[in-house]
Chain A
Amino acid sequence: MALAIEQPTTAPRSAKKRLQLRQLGQRWLPWLVPIVLIGVWQLAATIGWLSARVLPAPSTILQTTWELLLHQNLLGDIAVSTRRALLGLAIGGSLGFIFGLLNGTFPTSERLFDSTFQMIRNIPHLALLPLVILWFGIGETSRLFLVAFGVFFPLYLNTYHGVRSIDPNLREMGIVYGLSKWGLFRHIIFPGALPSILVGLRFALGVMWLTLIVAESLASNAGIGHLTMNAREFMQTDVLVMGIVIYALLGKLADTIARLIERRSLRWRVGA
Chain B
Amino acid sequence: MSIRGVELGLRGLGKAIANRTILHDINLEIKPGEFIAIIGKSGCGKTTLLRLIAGLTEPTIGQVALDNSPLAGLNPAARVMFQDARLLPWKRVWENVALGLPNLNPEHALQALHQVGLADRAYDWPLGLSGGERQRLALARAIANTPSLLLLDEPFGALDALTRIEMQQLVEQLWRAQGFTAILVTHDVEEAIALADRVLLIQNQHIALNLPIHLPRSRQRGSAEFAAIKEQLLGAIFGAGYPLTSRVVGA
Contacts and interface: CB of A to CB of B under 8 A. Distances in A.
Interface of A: 167, 169-170, 172-179, 187-188, 191-192, 194, 266-272
A266 B125 CA distance: 11
A1 B181 CA distance: 65
B13 to A, nearest CB: 19
A188 B92 CA distance: 13
Contact of B90 (A174, A176, A178, A268): A268
Nearest to A171: B86
Interface stretch (B74-82, B155-163, B223-231): B74-82
Given A170-B88, A187-B88, A176 B56 contact: yes
Residue among A172, A194, A270 facing the most chain B CB atoms (10 A cut-off)? A172
A173 B82 contact: yes
A178 B89 CA distance: 19
Nearest to B144: A177
Contact of A268 (B79, B84, B127): B127
B235 interface: no
B111 to A, nearest CB: 17
A102 B215 CA distance: 55
Given A176-B74, A176-B78, A177-B100, A187 B91 contact: yes
B128 interface: yes
Interface in B101-160: 125-128, 141
Interface of B: 54, 56, 74, 76, 78-80, 82, 84, 86, 88-92, 99-100, 125-128, 141
10 contacts: A169-B84, A176-B78, A176-B79, A176-B80, A187-B91, A191-B91, A266-B90, A268-B126, A270-B125, A271-B127
Contacts of B89: 268-269
B125 A272 contact: yes
Contact of A169 (B78, B86, B99, B127): B86
Nearest to A176: B80
A170 B90 contact: no
B90 A192 contact: yes
A191 B80 CA distance: 22
A191 B128 contact: no
A191 B90 CA distance: 7
Residue among A170, A175, A177, A271 facing the most chain B CB atoms (10 A cut-off)? A177
The 9 closest A-B pairs by CB, nearest first: A271-B127, A177-B100, A271-B128, A173-B86, A191-B90, A268-B125, A268-B90, A176-B80, A271-B125
A190 to B, nearest CB: 10
Given A170-B88, A172-B86, A178-B76, 7 more contacts: A173-B86, A176-B74, A177-B100, A178-B74, A178-B100, A267-B125, A269-B127
Contacts of A270: 125, 127
B87 to A, nearest CB: 9
Nearest to B142: A177
Given A177-B79, A177-B141, A268-B125, A172 B56 contact: yes
